[in-house]
A = this chain, B = another copy of it.
Amino acid sequence: MTHRTVGHPAGLPDDPRANVTAPTPECPVEITLSALHGRWTTLVVRELLRGDRSYSELRAALPMLSDKVLSDRLAHLGEAGVVERDRRPGWPPRVRYTLTPTGHRLGPVLQALWDWGAEVSARDRGAESGPETGTVH
């Protein structure tokens, strides 16, 4: 997809991808959603935003996440350029998962997702207290 729209200040005002009429892989929004696609994916990224992790540390942090899905997610995030695997030599096998610089930049994206959801849930709870804001990265 693509998302250029009405009145606005800066930016590339006429990126052709802002006018795609179907969910194509070239649209930046699709690229990002594709990287974050799948259940558990954002939680894995959150965990790695907090620091590098081993496979078993990720399992411990997300106990309900199965091995299959965890390796699927790590492989997918690897292909997306978000996560890097550092295989340390020796025995037993030690592997560290870390975010690439690109992956690190997902922090503001998750932050934006958090902020909107927090605002909605605050509104749904009825109270109109001060605006919420968490910090992901």
Q: Which residues of A contact B (CB under 8 A)?
A: 1-6, 8-13, 15, 18, 20-23, 26-33, 35-36, 39-40, 42-43, 45-46, 49-51, 61-65, 81, 102, 105-121, 123, 132-137
Contacts and interface: CB of A to CB of B under 8 A. Distances in A.
A5 B115 contact: no
A118 to B, nearest CB: 4
Contacts of A132: 11-12, 15
Given A22-B64, A121-B28, A4 B116 contact: no
A65 B135 CA distance: 36
Given A8-B135, A18-B134, A43 B121 contact: no
Q: How many copies does the complex hold?
A: 2
A116 B36 CA distance: 11
B117 A5 contact: no
**Residue picked from A20, A43, A62, A123, most chain B C-beta under 10 Å:** A43
The 6 closest A-B pairs by CB, nearest first: A28-B117, A8-B135, A31-B117, A112-B112, A11-B133, A28-B118
A21 B120 contact: no
